[in-house]
Structure 1
C-alpha cells in the first residue's frame, strides 16, 4: 500500500479543485453515478437525515445466482432518481458533511498501489501541498475502510445462506434478505 506522502505527490501532480458543479452526482451514462457504500456509511447518513435504510440505500444492481432460486449481491449503493443521486438538491449535496468515501475522494481512487483518476472538470487546478496531503490522507483512509469492509464480507460470505427464492445483500454485517 502506498503511504500518504507518495499519494499526495501523485494527487498534487494532477491538481484538483472541486467546482461544485454536481456532475459527479448526475447520471450521464448507465451507472455513471453509482455510489457504493458500506453499512457504516449508510448508518451515518441515516443518523444525519432521519431516513430509513431503504430510503438511503439500494442493493448493488448486479445479482449472483445462489443456486436455489435465490440471488445475492455484495454491496449497497446510494439511491438515485432517474437522473441524479437522491441527495443532490439544488445542485448541492444535502449530506455533504456525511458523504460516503467515494464522494469524499472523487475524482481519485486507490487500487492497490495505483492512483486512478476519473474524468472531472476540477482536474488540472493547482493544489496546495496541504490540499494534496489532505486528499491523500482521505484516500488512504478510504482504502483501509474498503479493505476492512471486504474482509468482513468474506467472513460473512463463508457462512452465508440465501433463503430459497429470495434476494439478499451479503455485507459485513450479515445476510440481509430483501422484501420486494
Structure 2
C-alpha cells in the first residue's frame, strides 16, 4: 500500500482543482454517477439529514442468483434520480460535510499501488503541496475504509443465507432483506 507522501506526489503531478460544476453528480451515461457507500456512510448521512436508510441508499443494481429463487448484491449506493444524485440541489451537494469517501476523493482512486484518475474538467489545474497532501490523506483513508468494508462483507458472506425468493444486500453488518 502506498503512503500518503507517495500518493501526494502523484496527485500533485496530475493537478486538480474542483470546479464545482456538479458533473460528477449528474447522470451522463448508465451508472456514471453510481456512488457505492458503506453502511457507516449511509448512517452518517442519515444522522445529518434525518432521512431513513431507504431514502438515502439503494441496493447496488447488479444482483447475483442465490440458487434458491433469491438474489443478493454486495453493496449499497446513494439514491439517484434519472438525472442526478438525490443530494445534488441547485448545483451543489446538500450533504457536502458528510459526503461519502468516493465523492470526497473524486476524480482519484487507489487500486492497490496505482493511482487511477477519472475524467474531470478540473484535472491539470495547479495543486499546492498541502492540497495534494490533504487529497492523498483522504484517498489513503478511503482505501483503508474500503478494505475494512470488504473484509467485513467477506466475513458475513461466509455465513450468509438469503431467504428463498427474496432479494437482499449482504454488507459488513449482515444480510438485509429488501422489502418492496
What TM-score do you get using the length of structure 1 for normalisation? 1.00
Structure 1 position 70 matched with structure 2 position 32: no
Q: How does 1:146-165 map to 2 (within 5 A)?
A: 146-165=146-165
**Deviation (angstroms), 1:96:** 0.2
- 1:55-83 CA-to-partner distances (Å, cap 9, x unmatched) read 00000000000000000000000000010
**Deviation (angstroms), 1:139:** 0.3
For 1:117, the equivalent position in structure 2 comes to 117
Rounded Cα–Cα distance in structure 1 between residues aligned with 2:46 and 2:121: 30
Rounded Cα–Cα distance in structure 2 between residues aligned with 1:54 and 1:138: 27
Rounded Cα–Cα distance in structure 1 between residues aligned with 2:8 and 2:121: 20
**Deviation (angstroms), 1:36:** 0.1
**Deviation (angstroms), 1:31:** 0.1
Structure 1 position 47 matched with structure 2 position 52: no
| Cα RMSD for the two superposed structures | 0.2
**Deviation (angstroms), 1:124:** 0.4
Query: How many corresponding residue pairs?
Result: 180
For 2:26, the equivalent position in structure 1 comes to 26
Rounded Cα–Cα distance in structure 1 between residues aligned with 2:159 and 2:118: 36
**SS where residue 162 of structure 1 aligns?**
coil
Structure 1, unaligned stretches of length 5 or more? none
What TM-score do you get using the length of structure 2 for normalisation? 1.00
Rounded Cα–Cα distance in structure 2 between residues aligned with 1:85 and 1:147: 25
Rounded Cα–Cα distance in structure 1 between residues aligned with 2:22 and 2:71: 34
